[in-house]
Structures are given as structure tokens and as C-alpha cells.
Structure 1
Amino acid sequence: MNPILGRSSPILKCIPGKINGTAIRCITNKIQDIPIHTGQKWDANDYRLVRFTNAPKQVNTNWAVNLIAEVPPKEVTERVVWCDGGSGPEGHPRVYINLDKPGNHSCGYCGLRFVKKDHH
């Protein structure tokens, strides 16, 4: 008995047979959940997986955090740079990034990284 739905779920328990002349659809395989970009993954017995009985769950494996990590940091000579994510309707509000401390500094909106290049 499923405590959430108040009845037996076809994913959790399957009893083949007929009720009032209607055949009962029997699902014997448990559905395995695929983690999404936030790491969310449900147990095989979770009632929320019932929506994926007829079609598989589609998860985009090209997560934005992995794609932006492939872009190399932009080397600049200024102490302060600005990022607008590509300007215009494709971008984001302009933010200023201080590069006084060593290392990469990323934009809070789009994740592009900047590094101060020493000009010695």
C-alpha cells in the first residue's frame, strides 16, 4: 500500500488480473531515476516516478556549469573589468569584477572567468 496515494501503485506492486472486465496493466520493471543538474534523484519506489512509466525521463547532460568550465579564463590587464554576458538581449546586467586578488574571478551571472595578466 502506498501511503501517499492511499492505494497500491502499479510500479510498487503488480497483481495481474481483471477488474469489472477491464484488464489491469502490469508494470513489473522498476524505474531508475536519472539525476538532474541539481543532483536531485528519487528512489525507485518514489511515487513521483509514475509519470515516467510510458516515456523515459529526459535529462540534458550538457549542464551549464560544465559547459562554462570549458571556456578558458579571459586574460586582461585592467584591475577592474565588467561583464554583461554578451550585451543586448542575450546578456545580463553589467557587473564589475575586481581582479586585485590573484587567480580567476568569475561573473556571478554567467560564470565567465577573468584573470589579471601581469604586464612585466
Structure 2
Amino acid sequence: MSSLKLLQGSFNKLQLRNVVSRSFLAVRCVSNQADTETHTGQKWDSDDYRLARFVNAPKHVNPNWAIKMIDEVPPKECHERVIACDGGGGPTGHPKVFINLDKPGNHACGYCGLRFFKGDHHH
């Protein structure tokens, strides 16, 4: 009877090893797909174990990154030396910040990324 239990134990280990090797092969097959880069620059090699989480579900990456969308908004010309940005105010805004426009070039808001510059105006 002990040899039967030993045989069953070996068979169970063999089954387990077979299941593990099949799942490993499945992970390797799925992970050989091209990994999509996220907005933070996260991208893994095709043999990285972290791609195993995408075996049953695809990796969803939004192509509309906020930084790209805010870059499409042209910089706003202002005639004051110091301006205030509140992100549009209301519940979708942010705390009011003051931006000094004395130096030439665009100056971005630290919260929302909107850009401002001081336009030259002559009296």
C-alpha cells in the first residue's frame, strides 16, 4: 500500500509539473506580444514575468495622455507681469497659483500645465 501512495504522489507531482509548465508556456506565448508603453514610460521586455498578469486580459493603455492633450492648447498671451491660474475654477479647477511672467518665454502652471507668456504691448 505504501508503494501505491508513493506512486500516486509521484503521479500528482508529475501532473502538477505538467500544469505549471503549460501555464508557463502560455505566459511566454502571450508575453512575446509587443508591450505597449504607458505615459510613464513603463515598458517590459518580452520575457519579463510581470507580463503574466495580461494572460487572460489585454493591457489597456490610453493613447490620450494628459500631457499631450495639454500641449495642444496654445499658450495664452497676457499683458500683466503676474497672472493667477485656477484651472478654470469650480469643482474641476485647482488652488489659485500666481505665475510671474517677467522672464521671456512660456511659463506653465504647476497644477494644470496651461502655459502663459507676456505679450509685448507698446503704449
Structure 1 and Structure 2 fold alike (TM over 0.5): yes
Equivalent position of 2:15 in the other structure: 19
| TM-score w.r.t. length of structure 2 | 0.75
Equivalent position of 1:37 in the other structure: 39
Query: Aligned equivalents of 2:52 and 2:35: distance in 1?
Result: 11
1:63-82 alignment, distance < 5 Å: 63-82=65-84
Equivalent position of 1:100 in the other structure: 102
Whichever of the two has the greater Rg, that structure is: 2
Query: Aligned equivalents of 2:49 and 2:37: distance in 1?
Result: 16
Query: Aligned equivalents of 1:45 and 1:108: distance in 2?
Result: 38
Q: Identity percentage over the alignment?
A: 63
**How far does residue 54 in structure 1 lie from its aligned partner after superposition?**
1.6
Gaps of 5+ in 1: 1-17
Q: Deviations over 1:1-24 (max 9, x none)?
A: xxxxxxxxxxxxxxxxx927x975
**How far does residue 45 in structure 1 lie from its aligned partner after superposition?**
1.2
| TM-score w.r.t. length of structure 1 | 0.77
Equivalent position of 1:11 in the other structure: none
> Which stretch shifts more, 106-115 or 45-54?
45-54
Residue 67 of structure 2 aligns to a residue in which SS?
Answer: helix
Q: Do 1:33 and 1:42's aligned partners in 2 also have CA atoms closer than 8 Å?
A: yes
Q: Deviations over 1:17-49 (max 9, x none)?
A: x927x9755523423321100101111111111
The amino acid across from 1:49 in the alignment is L
Query: Aligned equivalents of 1:31 and 1:74: distance in 2?
Result: 43
**How far does residue 119 in structure 1 lie from its aligned partner after superposition?**
1.1
Runs (4 or more) in structure 1 with deviation over 3 Å come to 22-26
Residue 19 of structure 1 aligns to a residue in which SS?
Answer: helix
RMSD: 1.9
**Number of residues of Structure 1 aligned to a counterpart in Structure 2:** 102
Gaps of 5+ in 2: 1-13
Residue 93 of structure 1 aligns to a residue in which SS?
Answer: coil
